[in-house]
Amino acid sequence: MNTFWHQIANKTLRSTSKLYLLIAINVAVFLIVGIPSIFEQLFLKSELFKTYMFDYLAMPAYLPKLLIRFWTPITYQFMHAGILHILFNMLWLHWMGQIFEEFLGTKRTIGLYLLGGLFGAAFFVISYNLFPLFTQSGTALSGSVVGASASVMAIIVGAATIAPNYTISLMFIGPVKLKWLVLFYVIIDFLGVTGPNAGGQIAHLGGAFFGFMYVKQIQKGNDWVASIAGIFKKRSKLKVVANNKGKDAVTKPRQEDVDRILDKISQSGYEKLTKQEKEILFRASDNES
């Protein structure tokens, strides 16, 4: 048992991949809310704890309530409505997150997750306070959204944007290119924006939009996640100058080479890269800030 928990701790805290940390946080929040709620229902036949937690951690559409629940654009990204909800979100995060980190490294994962979730929240709030379908029916007053779906969609679409021709094998279907699979799910989300889970579907589209734009900006040399992280990075007051240009030139690829390789991936897929190009991309991910 100790070995089991030790392995989980290593995966979560010491692994270079950030996917395990995100999955662990989601599962922990789900258990913290779910386990007491089950005991409350069994013994007290009430759901006060669960109702209280969702009221304070879910993302509301009603603007006055959002002003006093200003933390919910972050907390809603780690809340889930049921076991199937979190199960499928975490499976997609694990599968597609690995593809994303394979091409763009592990240091962008958490930033894309959070920013994708924020974009999903923005799409949700704007839509519920703009479109007559929601404003005139009173849905905007009581509507709320929970789940990591918008954040996960940002990573899924980001992976499909950087490697559109990446092929995965689906049960009963066979090999499918990533771009077609993701396009199918985006269309399904769009068709559901007037359905019973309209808020969730709209948030998905917001996350998908950000994931697409984020990778396109990376291909142009603009890394939004790194730029935001750089604002909070502590800068040294001392400036050390070293005459060791040869080592940096070998270990850190030129940005124009990286951009060229990313463009090639978008056009023909990762499998068309040469061994040297794959090595350049790997070193770029290893040296990213």
Annotated domain spans of the chain: 2-229, 240-286
**Over residues 244-273, mean pLDDT:** 64
For residue 145, which phi and psi values (nearest 5 degrees)? -140, 145
CB contact set of 47 (below 8 Å; sequence gap of 6+): 37, 40, 41
Write out pLDDT tens, residues 115-149: 999 999 999 999 999 999 999 888 888 899 999 99
Cβ count near 54 (within 10 Å): 17
- Of 231, 224, 227, 286, whose CA–CA distance to 258 is shortest? 286
pLDDT higher than threshold 70 for residue 9: no
**pTM score > 0.85 for this model?**
no
Angle at the Cα of 20 from the Cα atoms of 16 and 23, rounded to 5 degrees:
155
pLDDT higher than threshold 70 for residue 11: no
Write out pLDDT tens, residues 169-185: 888 888 999 999 999 99
Q: Tell me if 253 sits within 8 A of 276, measured CB to CB.
A: no
pLDDT higher than threshold 80 for residue 276: no
Q: In terms of CATH architecture, what is 2-229? A: Up-down Bundle (1.20)
Write out pLDDT tens, residues 32-70: 999 999 999 999 999 999 999 999 999 999 999 999 999
Write out pLDDT tens, residues 84-123: 999 999 999 999 999 999 888 888 999 999 999 999 999 9
